[in-house]
Structure 1
Amino acid sequence: MLRNSIIVLLIALVVGVPIALRKKQDIVKNPDATLIIISPHNEAIRYEFETAFRKWYEAETGKVVTIDWRSPGGTSEIVKYLNAEYTNQFRLYWTRDLGREWSATVADAFDNRKVALPDDPAGDDEAQAARRAFLASNVGVGIDLFHGGGWYDFNVKAQQGMLVANNVFGKHPAWFTEEMIPQTFSGEVFWDKEHRYVGAVLSSFGIIFNRDELRSAGFEGEPSHWRDLADPKFYGSVAVADPTKSGSITKAFEMLVQQQMQELVAAGVPEEQAVPEGWMNGMQLIQLISGNARYFTDSATKPVLDVSAGDCAIGMAIDFYGRFQEQNLVDRGGGERFGFIMPPGGSSISADPIGLLRGAPHKEIAEAFIEYTLSQEGQKLWDFKVGTPGGPIEYALRRSPIRRDLYEPQFAEYRSDATVLPYDETEGFVYQPAWTGRLFSELRFVVRAAFIDPGEELRAAWGSILRAREEGRTADADAAFAVLSDLSAIDYEQAKTTIDEKLGEGALGRLELLTQLSGQFREQYRSAQQIANGGQG
């Protein structure tokens, strides 16, 4: 009996303590409507914006609204979810409402941005008829807004027809000017000319680090360049998120590659030569970072937590994750062991958009949410300190507003990051979409095929090379490194041609190429390890 009582008590503690300590949440009784948003944003952002928007909307309309947040994972998971749901709903519309037969052609064509439509619908083939029907429909998936992620995924969704124009552009034309929210900045697109999405907040990408662990590793000073992540001192101690799960992390890798290209251009190398060479330099740098990596995680927040805890010394992160954790540690008495830096000249400033989904069940409220998010009141939530006029009530979000007027001097005392001025901080870095923009999916794919899937073999080979160098076996180390660093299978030309073509074949083509490349690199890394070990297995 005593034993059973102890077990029951332990179960009660495990279940009850988190409930008892959980923050009291506002319960909205009998709301007039529920806005449904799919988003990768964290709990802090969701809480602050839902609370503030609810008050704003009730003051504007007299109606009570609550928000149902859907968070299936990172941006990549959200994209997969939307693709599947729109396919299911359009199939129902096509067969039930239009009375037409479903086929593989229809499934492939209805959201295919490459299907060209003739002026006269009478000339449509089956694929064109499906595409035209989708774009003329109000097919929806029961979700109002897609909020958060990177430009690439939003642009694809817009071109597919899953995002539609909203009325905020027409209602507030003064917001969408060079002086307030520019259409482009430093080569990045901040809002869609067809008004299907608009940046809600700014992001940059950088390096997170633990000062105590840097000293323990023998690293002098603090990191300042992406290449610092490849320093052999950090073998087994680099924290990286999986770019195949996060569009934002893919963007960080793209910034790294673009910096390699831009450094060559700055050194006088002609652009037509600098771009493919810079791509290869970027691949080699990503390879060494991957060789140092402790893991590639599905969670974009895990590297921040592990670096702040000292489980890893250094890592890659989106700026607001780094700044949020930096503030969180200081507030909790954790000192200043954790830091974040945007590598000078190593990242552009990009926008995290928000967009209205086709068939939104609460379109009017959804457009009101976009309006609030872009208003000065909504923008203050991103970077104002907790408790300041117009600021958040629980969490300092530590993100950079997209509206330029929030960086005016009168707001400096209220901002958490008064010295962070993103419109002034790119240090000459201008994103060149023509260089890597069309290879965003290809970049994500090659990182997985060459560095993540064969990651165990890569880390083992890199470790053996480092040991050979420490032991003075320079010839073995150099010969092994030459094998390890042969990345001709994923060079710029291959990415533009063979890899791009295979990915265009769909899931089967992607799987075939993934199997081929990852198998090739596994064997290559095993060979490099054997050479580094002096011919031993």
Structure 2
Amino acid sequence: MKSWLIASTLLCSSVSAWAKDTLVILSPHRKSIQEEYVPLFTEYYKKTFKTDVDVQWLDQGGTSDDVRFLRAKYANNKKSSGVDLFWGGGTATFMELQRDGFLDTYKLPAELKAQVPENTAGIPLYDKTHTWYASAMSSFGVFFNKKIMKMDGMPEPKTWQDLGSPVYKDNISLTDPRRSGSANTMNAIILQTMGWDKGWELLTAISGNARSFTHSSTDPIKAVVSGDVGLAMAIDFYALAKIGDLGPDNLGFVLPEGQSVLDPDPIAILKGAPNRKVAERFVQFVLSVDGQKLLLLPKGVPGGPKMSSLGRMAVNTKAYQETEGKRISPANPFTQKGFIMLDLERATKMQRVFNDLVGATLVDTHDDLKKAWKKIAKGKSVDPAKLAVFGKPALSEAEFMKLVDRWDDEVVRNQTINAWVGASRQKYKSLQ
């Protein structure tokens, strides 16, 4: 009896020693986010709640893949997906998840809520139903290699329009928007701010200056860092992370004033989260001053990331106050003016057709496009009449919007794409 009691006591002690809380996160975030946040959270958790936490990080390959994974989970069990949190992917994704009923309500503690405003520049930082909260913000601009720009005598860009100047010929790297959501967003910003005709004219000119179109949104960043090209259109955190690691004397990033959007990057607790209390604690940690400093500070600075700079805009106003003069970028979305709102509903609706149109007229015909650009773009300017022909869109905006509702018909889609490719090749060859 006594030996059984001793064995039982030892067993209970062993179980207690190994007992820990669990958190399951589904996220398309890049590995550097995971490498910085998970260790710091586990350290904070042990110190604050006197127990260990096991953070399980799931990623199916990207935002769309993660959403499909989640849908499949809820299809099998409508009450719970077995996942606690969905983190990252842009506002449109969370609007969709909220409409589908996959997100649960959670209200922040009063002290933390006071540090995270309801909106900035008119852009909501959390949903009115309290089902998601912005954990960071993204914007889009031009990333450039300062040394290459100086060596080749190129002026540093200030606007999207600057990228259409012939002075940047063969010095821009772009990503195929059929492969990159951020490339699609930047193209959509140009169309929204410049209008259909002028927007297409600029997109075509920028493509003329492009050395190539890549498959990955990180490839243009690598090309700028290595000096293969001078410039790239980029989402801010890819650019700022490199600036944080390599220094502002070598690399630069500019947000085009009056043509920059802010896109919140939310976090949300999922319906039926099996570890609800731990999930709440993680949301609070991510939005706290300490959690937000990881986004703003360069690596190696006290309070900043340890392995790599993250280079993102934070949502906690107190974090900005405590990092003044230390941040990778001096930009502050709560004080800086000139941001615009992207029409997300419209951009989402037209995304598939828009990407196919860009692909057919700018990417798949890029060799012919560049030959035409080389012919008409001589010196530092382009003849306006020739530019108008070169950059004329394949169809009017009204004709384009009529196709949106027919794009699921593969016959219509394939025939239309083939027609766009043929007409574009003919147009470019007429200018050579």
TM-score range for the pair, normalised by the shorter chain length: 0.7 to 0.9
Report what 1:123 is aligned to: none
Classify 1:66/1:311 alpha carbon distance in 2 versus 1 (closer, same or farther; 3 Å): farther
Report what 1:222 is aligned to: 156
Given candidates 253, 262, 266, the residue that maps to 1:340 is 253
Report what 1:176 is aligned to: 113
Q: Which runs of 5+ in 1 are unaligned?
A: 1-28, 94-136, 261-277
Question: How many angstroms apart in 1 are the aligned matches of 2:271 and 2:182?
Answer: 24
Report what 1:403 is aligned to: 316
- Contact 1:348-1:426 within 8 A present in 2 as well: no
Amino acid at match of 1:143: V
Question: How many angstroms apart in 2 are the aligned matches of 1:385 and 1:337?
Answer: 15
Residue 371 (structure 1) shift: 1.1
Question: How many angstroms apart in 2 are the aligned matches of 1:252 and 1:368?
Answer: 34
Question: How many angstroms apart in 1 are the aligned matches of 2:55 and 2:211?
Answer: 37
Given candidates 132, 136, 139, the residue that maps to 1:201 is 136
CA displacement, residues 105-130 of structure 1 (integer Å, 9 cap, x when unaligned): xxxxxxxxxxxxxxxxxxxxxxxxxx
Question: How many angstroms apart in 1 are the aligned matches of 2:24 and 2:88?
Answer: 14
1:165 counterpart = 2:93:
no
Report what 2:207 is aligned to: 290
- Contact 1:209-1:338 within 8 A present in 2 as well: yes
Given candidates 471, 478, 486, the residue that maps to 2:392 is 486
CA displacement, residues 357-403 of structure 1 (integer Å, 9 cap, x when unaligned): 23433232222111111112212222234455533333332322211
1:37 match: secondary structure: strand
Report what 1:145 is aligned to: 85
1:423 match: secondary structure: coil
Report what 1:449 is aligned to: 356
Residue 302 (structure 1) shift: 1.9
Classify 1:532/1:243 alpha carbon distance in 2 versus 1 (closer, same or farther; 3 Å): closer
Aligned residues: 415
Question: How many angstroms apart in 2 are the aligned matches of 1:470 and 1:291?
Answer: 9
Report what 1:133 is aligned to: none
1:22-421 equivalences in 2 (<5 Å): 32-73=20-61, 77-86=62-71, 88-93=72-77, 137-140=78-81, 142-166=82-106, 169=107, 171-177=108-114, 180-215=115-150, 218-219=153-154, 221-260=155-194, 278-330=195-247, 336-408=249-321, 410-413=322-325, 415-417=326-328, 419-421=330-332
- Contact 1:379-1:402 within 8 A present in 2 as well: yes
Question: How many angstroms apart in 1 are the aligned matches of 2:92 and 2:377?
Answer: 43
Report what 1:522 is aligned to: 421
Amino acid at match of 1:198: Y
Report what 1:127 is aligned to: none
CA displacement, residues 332-366 of structure 1 (integer Å, 9 cap, x when unaligned): xxx83321111122213332111122343323222
TM value normalised by structure 1: 0.69
Amino acid at match of 1:346: Q
Q: Which runs of 5+ in 2 are unaligned?
A: 1-16
Question: How many angstroms apart in 1 are the aligned matches of 2:93 and 2:428?
Answer: 38
Classify 1:184/1:530 alpha carbon distance in 2 versus 1 (closer, same or farther; 3 Å): same
- Contact 1:239-1:306 within 8 A present in 2 as well: yes
Question: How many angstroms apart in 2 are the aligned matches of 1:36 and 1:512?
Answer: 42
Residue 198 (structure 1) shift: 0.6
1:163 match: secondary structure: coil
Classify 1:145/1:280 alpha carbon distance in 2 versus 1 (closer, same or farther; 3 Å): farther
Question: How many angstroms apart in 1 are the aligned matches of 2:298 and 2:148?
Answer: 30
- Contact 2:117-2:125 within 8 A present in 1 as well: yes
Residue 454 (structure 1) shift: 4.6
Classify 1:157/1:247 alpha carbon distance in 2 versus 1 (closer, same or farther; 3 Å): farther
Classify 1:282/1:470 alpha carbon distance in 2 versus 1 (closer, same or farther; 3 Å): closer
Report what 1:263 is aligned to: none
Report what 2:340 is aligned to: 430
Question: How many angstroms apart in 2 are the aligned matches of 1:522 and 1:419?
Answer: 44
1:52 match: secondary structure: helix
Question: How many angstroms apart in 2 are the aligned matches of 1:368 and 1:420?
Answer: 29
Amino acid at match of 2:241: F
Residue 200 (structure 1) shift: 0.5
Amino acid at match of 1:297: T
The percent of aligned pairs where both chains have the same amino acid is 27
2:129 match: secondary structure: coil
Classify 1:369/1:298 alpha carbon distance in 2 versus 1 (closer, same or farther; 3 Å): farther
Q: Whose helix fraction is larger, Structure 1's or Structure 2's?
A: 1
Amino acid at match of 1:532: L
- Contact 1:483-1:527 within 8 A present in 2 as well: no
Amino acid at match of 2:94: F
2:144 match: secondary structure: strand
